[in-house]
Structure 1
Amino acid sequence: MPPSLKCVTEIRLAPRLSGAPIADHALLSDCHCAALVTIDGSVDWLCFPRFDSPSVFGRLLDADAGHWSIRPADHYTVSRRYLDRTLVLETTFSCPAGTVVLTDALAMGPDNRGHALGKGAPRLMIRSVTCTEGTVPVEVSYAPRPEYGLLRPLLSTVDGGVTARGGAEWLVFSAPVSMDIAGSTATAHLPMSAGQTHYFALHRSTLEEEPAWIWSQAQLADRLDATVEAWESWSEMHQHYQGPWRELVHHSGRVLQGLTFQPSGAIVAAATTSLPEAIGGERNWDYRFSWVRDASFTMEALWVAACPDEASDFFEFMTTAAAGSIGPGTPLQIMFGVGGEHDLSERTLPHLAGWRDSRPVRVGNGAWVQQQIDVYGELLGAAHRLADQITEVDDETLAFLTALAESAAQRWREPDQGIWEVRGEPRHFLYSKVMCWMALDRAIKLAGALRAGHRVDAWRQIRDEIWQTVISEGWNDKAGAFTQYYGSSDLDAANLMMPIVGFLPADDPRMLATIDAIADRLTDDRGLVYRYSTEAGVDGLAGTEGAFLLCTFWLAQALAMAGQVSRARAVFERAAAYTNDVGLLAEEVDTESGELLGNFPQALSHIGLINAAWAISQADSTA
């Protein structure tokens, strides 16, 4: 059977304190910020009010960095799922004497049905617990630790809940029962019987804003119902893909939507920071920002999975964010904060132990200062794919898109850090050249809409020059394939994008040889694809990393485009099998244990899943 959204039941004899497997987490989103909830019913990651804000709960990265758990006091088995067509999580705990169901959501705004998902979101996390049969004692532990666990706030009881004050945060915890406070942790024990439901909530503001307040049980019930309806309505309006693995594709579309910052149109690469690419290694990065590349890929994937009516917002965000950062002598910055911020300076948080002692924990990302010339192609590729959705963009956006093509024409000969953001010396990476070709190819096709017909001849001449150079300089007879950079014999999975973007047909003999070389020599024992060989030392970092799920889906997509559909299906299912019990993927898979690694959930992995499924469906329809 093909992979689908699974429901796994596991026995839990005692709660874990930290270091839970990455796959044990589920995502909540209000299209402003994100939370991760463990299979044990603990919120171990929550950043208010934006994806990139300091965490309020950070036990994901350190046992003392805060959590909010709701779980039975007895031994239990547990299963969970997302409510149909939503990112509202339902966890069912089965105990010897009864069953309780925990429902978790980051609340949507009051008028989010069908459109503007997340607009006016109240910065509110809701958790309801219902006893559906028998009697179950339930434990609640609320331990906020703002600013990545640096603060232990002052907790005070108030009518209907608990307030927390510390630093710039004002947190109000709504509870239907009295809470016992010890230091900066509040706890409660609830004997529940069949038919009882209790709602808990966390509301957040800052000292400069209107204070957060206690929510009544009726208000929380209404807001939770409205959040479910908002997701259902959005899915009904936007999701129409009917091909193979429909459930996984639609769910991946919702995940990508959940990684969108509604106020600006920015899209983050993942909901977390510093989840490692190898346990105990240094490849730990903050992914809570909007990469031009990842966001552009997201918009293209949403074209398949979710009819992106946010396309205009995205391009307007990019235009505004990039203002002043592109032009003659000025390369496009490759990533921005979700509000359009440019300075994303990287620092470490030495007080945090890291997930399973994987240090350092980083916030910010030093890659913001890198030159990566592929970004011009990815943005113009998204603009071309979404041309029907961006027919009414303003003159500034049209000028921005034209400037992208001009920059690609000027910069394609320059070395850069490439798609994998190597921290070694710049090189002439093949993928970057191909993306500059793509920038000009798509600009030529968009020339009428861009009002740039007078530039077509010059663009065509440079596009063809790039093509000839890549063919002559990028092929390596020793490797029998296109390789990572000019003069290299090392393979790079990014070259699987060559047929995907139309640089060469997938059944071209050189492309078939490259596909086979990657499948044979750049995979682990499970058949999952590495990005490149870390042994070559090109990335300037110590240690190794896991197999990369996006690259494995690229292999499936390229095989489908080459007409090798059964082989493509096998590769797709091999990668999709690593979705966790609620259909989420991290960035990588550990080559020894098979455990998910890297930031989570990872937009690129879900993008790869969507596009590979689409390619296989198209190959099936033309077979």
Structure 2
Amino acid sequence: MSSLPIAAHALLSDRHSAALVTTGGSIDWLCCPRFDSPSVFGRLLDPGAGHWSISPAGEYTGTRRYLDRTLVLETTFRTATGAVSVTDALTMGPDNHGHELGRGVPHLLIRSVTGLTGQTDMNVSYQPRPEYGLLRPLLSHVDGGVTARGGAEWLVLSSPVPLDLADSTATARFTLRAGETVRFSMHRSTLEAKPARIWSPDELADRLAATVAAWRSWSDLHQNYDGPWRDLVRHSGRVLQALTFQPTGAIVAAATTSLPEQPGGARNWDYRYSWVRDASFTMEALWVAACPDEANDFFAFLTTAAAGAVGEGTPLQIMFGVGGEHDLTERTLPHLSGWRDSRPVRAGNDAWRQEQIDVYGELLGAAHRLADQITDMDDDMRGFLVALADAAARRWRQPDQGIWEVRGEPRHFVYSKVMCWVALDRAVKLADRLHAGDRVAAWTAAKEEIRRAVLRDGWSDSAGAFTQYPGSGTLDASNLMMAIVGFLPAGDPRMLATIEAIADRLTDERGLVYRYRTEDGVDGLTGGEGTFLLCTFWLAHALAMAGQPERAREVFARAAGYANDVGLLAEEVDPDTGELLGNFPQAFSHLGLINAAWAIQQAEQRR
């Protein structure tokens, strides 16, 4: 059983794929060549699914950090006899500039080990297990390293120390003295490549330096937020950048699959895909955390991925593969035990079959916010955005699965109706840019009809708040967005009442916010879940807009305090233990942090 806390992991990314590194120096998760590829190292989900560890042979203590303005990880180990640092990176191209972060990547993972003081005995354990641990590859010595062949994979490990091979695992022990550096690397080669490509120490040093320079160039050129929690906001912007698939502009919801919403539970989903909703929110957050040159790539990706899919009888698909794939059929991986025995482990996500009418508003909201950055709006993109607005006007009356992707019966979720209003409101504002002046009257009429319906049917006198769907008494944190998107002023009495109801009745004893109460049974799933960090940041955001920045700061600090030692957030927090839960790191949580910090800054400036 894999039981290491989720918070014990740090992220590496080359904007094609992602790895997770533990506090003990083990890479326990790596999918390549894409975020959604089968894992090569998967110990995160099962002890036998592969890892690559480099750590002291005896007892040690460790600390870690990202190098300034990068996602290059440095872990320092201290033992009774000496200290060493391990620097880990998935590399960027050596000729990258900031706007080209991630181009030309050979899927090269570098691990550079430097002696700091005294001398330290180090252990290496390299156990690749492709296909989510199904394969035990053939390991063979080559000059300067080891190759691993199995299935479609040929992995090449460059090693400056001799390795012993047994049971599809390579191991070594070596001693490192102060001032000495050894550099390891692994890359995914092709089956036709002969001889195996071994990287020299000097080449690895150059590639590592180029990767540090690439991250810093992007951060310096693009990140200009200087408000409260500046470092945390800018770091979150880098995390969102790291979760972007550079070849297409797709943004994944998280780097992992099947990390649970409740330990031992079955709410375990694959988040390594691009949700229209998540990506749209992320683009808006990047507007705050960075200058989003990525806007053109993202909208071009969606225009292509969804081409022809927003017609009279066809709803917009809510998510795509990072290459634009539509079929994301879900399957279970029964050979994996799951993190803390949380089964099933899943690959794929059947939510792609759902209809969620909120996506029209999220996309048009992002297009409106980023209008100045979308410099390549051609006729195809205009037609796509116009079709989204028309679909919102046509579909807003129908039930759907909602923002939380319930697997129960479709309902008339208030949030979904509000986001259809957003779609039409933003389309009217973009009408000149969309060459759609002839549609403004119809869009305006539909927008006002939605507004009347939500104000009439979404409010519950008995709950004293807007509720999840008409006739229900269930509170839903997504209704905080009514203020954030401008459907109602945050100071409106009904909005204030909803904010207070959520703050009072939809929080745990730590003051963190649930999405909704799972015991109400609306989502069609068994078991419970943790509190949602995104929803807690929404509460901070709404409080700031309501003119209560002091309370907003308290709520923000409460949520941000759950970031791990290298500033990463998962999806949820266990209400009993305070541990991070869910897929990691979670784009939703980081974009909520960014937007809430910005809202607090704006509220304080107004005051």
Q: Does 1:570 align with 2:546?
A: no
**Residue number among 493, 513, 529 corresponding to 1:529 in the alignment:** 513
| Aligned match of 1:97 | 81
* Alpha-carbon distance, 1:83 to partner: 0.2
**Residue number among 121, 127, 144 corresponding to 2:128 in the alignment:** 144
Tell whether the 8 Å contact from 2:2 to 2:43 is kept in structure 1 after alignment: yes
**Residue number among 274, 278, 287 corresponding to 2:258 in the alignment:** 274
Number of equivalenced pairs? 607
**Residue number among 462, 484, 503 corresponding to 1:478 in the alignment:** 462
Tell whether the 8 Å contact from 2:147 to 2:196 is kept in structure 1 after alignment: no
Task: Supply the AA of the counterpart residue of 1:247.
Answer: D
SS at match of 2:324: coil
Summarize the alignment of residues 581-620 of structure 1 with structure 2, pairs less than 5 Å apart. Answer: 581-620=565-604
Deviations 1:363-391 (A, max 9, x none): 00000000000000000000000000013
| Aligned match of 2:365 | 381
Task: Supply the AA of the counterpart residue of 1:248.
Answer: L
Q: Does 1:500 align with 2:475?
A: no
| Aligned match of 1:72 | 56
Tell whether the 8 Å contact from 1:170 to 1:211 is kept in structure 2 after alignment: no
SS at match of 1:248: helix
**C-alpha distance in 2, partners of 1:110/1:136?**
31
Summarize the alignment of residues 22-171 of structure 1 with structure 2, pairs less than 5 Å apart. Answer: 22-171=6-155
Task: Supply the AA of the counterpart residue of 1:519.
Answer: A
Tell whether the 8 Å contact from 2:40 to 2:133 is kept in structure 1 after alignment: yes
Task: Supply the AA of the counterpart residue of 1:538.
Answer: V
| Aligned match of 1:311 | 295
**C-alpha distance in 1, partners of 2:332/2:350?**
11
| Aligned match of 2:435 | 451
Tell whether the 8 Å contact from 2:571 to 2:580 is kept in structure 1 after alignment: yes
Q: Does 1:429 align with 2:402?
A: no
* Alpha-carbon distance, 1:310 to partner: 1.0
Deviations 1:176-219 (A, max 9, x none): 01100012000010111111100000010343678861101110
**C-alpha distance in 2, partners of 1:206/1:523?**
51
Summarize the alignment of residues 351-366 of structure 1 with structure 2, pairs less than 5 Å apart. Answer: 351-366=335-350
Tell whether the 8 Å contact from 1:586 to 1:605 is kept in structure 2 after alignment: yes
Deviations 1:111-132 (A, max 9, x none): 2222111111111000000001
Summarize the alignment of residues 190-589 of structure 1 with structure 2, pairs less than 5 Å apart. Answer: 190-207=174-191, 213-589=197-573
SS at match of 1:99: strand
**C-alpha distance in 2, partners of 1:346/1:208?**
32
SS at match of 2:312: coil
Task: Supply the AA of the counterpart residue of 1:498.
Answer: M
| Aligned match of 1:5 | none
| Aligned match of 2:163 | 179
**C-alpha distance in 2, partners of 1:463/1:320?**
28
SS at match of 2:205: helix
SS at match of 1:219: helix
Cα distance change, pair 113–140 in 1 and its aligned pair in 2 (3 A): same
Task: Supply the AA of the counterpart residue of 2:497.
Answer: A
* Alpha-carbon distance, 1:19 to partner: 1.7
Tell whether the 8 Å contact from 1:430 to 1:495 is kept in structure 2 after alignment: yes
Q: Does 1:189 align with 2:173?
A: yes
TM-score (norm 2): 0.99
**C-alpha distance in 1, partners of 2:194/2:508?**
53
SS at match of 2:538: helix
* Alpha-carbon distance, 1:296 to partner: 0.3
SS at match of 2:88: strand
**C-alpha distance in 2, partners of 1:477/1:184?**
65
**C-alpha distance in 1, partners of 2:23/2:160?**
23
Q: Which moved more, 1:116-125 or 1:587-596?
A: 116-125
**Identical aligned pairs, as a percentage?**
75
**C-alpha distance in 2, partners of 1:473/1:210?**
68
Tell whether the 8 Å contact from 2:549 to 2:603 is kept in structure 1 after alignment: yes
SS at match of 1:252: helix
SS at match of 1:49: coil
Task: Supply the AA of the counterpart residue of 1:500.
Answer: I
Task: Supply the AA of the counterpart residue of 2:542.
Answer: A
**C-alpha distance in 1, partners of 2:22/2:492?**
46
**C-alpha distance in 2, partners of 1:120/1:336?**
24
Cα distance change, pair 38–196 in 1 and its aligned pair in 2 (3 A): same
Structure 1 residue runs without a partner (length 5+): 1-16
* Alpha-carbon distance, 1:393 to partner: 1.8
**C-alpha distance in 2, partners of 1:460/1:394?**
24
**C-alpha distance in 1, partners of 2:196/2:328?**
29
**C-alpha distance in 2, partners of 1:324/1:191?**
61
**C-alpha distance in 2, partners of 1:159/1:611?**
51
| Aligned match of 1:12 | none
Task: Supply the AA of the counterpart residue of 1:392.
Answer: D
Tell whether the 8 Å contact from 1:47 to 1:55 is kept in structure 2 after alignment: yes
**C-alpha distance in 1, partners of 2:252/2:181?**
35
The ranges of structure 1 where at least 4 consecutive aligned residues each deviate by more than 4 angstroms after the TM superposition are: 208-212
Cα distance change, pair 196–377 in 1 and its aligned pair in 2 (3 A): same
Cα distance change, pair 159–208 in 1 and its aligned pair in 2 (3 A): closer
Task: Supply the AA of the counterpart residue of 1:80.
Answer: R
**C-alpha distance in 1, partners of 2:497/2:235?**
34
Tell whether the 8 Å contact from 1:203 to 1:212 is kept in structure 2 after alignment: no
Tell whether the 8 Å contact from 1:205 to 1:211 is kept in structure 2 after alignment: no
Cα distance change, pair 211–502 in 1 and its aligned pair in 2 (3 A): farther
Task: Supply the AA of the counterpart residue of 1:132.
Answer: L
**C-alpha distance in 2, partners of 1:245/1:112?**
29
TM-score (norm 1): 0.97
Aligned Cα root-mean-square deviation (Å): 0.9
**C-alpha distance in 2, partners of 1:500/1:594?**
28
SS at match of 1:150: coil
* Alpha-carbon distance, 1:392 to partner: 2.4
Q: Does 1:20 align with 2:9?
A: no
* Alpha-carbon distance, 1:18 to partner: 3.3
Task: Supply the AA of the counterpart residue of 1:179.
Answer: L
Deviations 1:4-58 (A, max 9, x none): xxxxxxxxxxxxx832100000000000000000000000000010000000000
| Aligned match of 1:8 | none
Cα distance change, pair 210–303 in 1 and its aligned pair in 2 (3 A): farther
SS at match of 1:356: coil
Tell whether the 8 Å contact from 2:69 to 2:215 is kept in structure 1 after alignment: yes
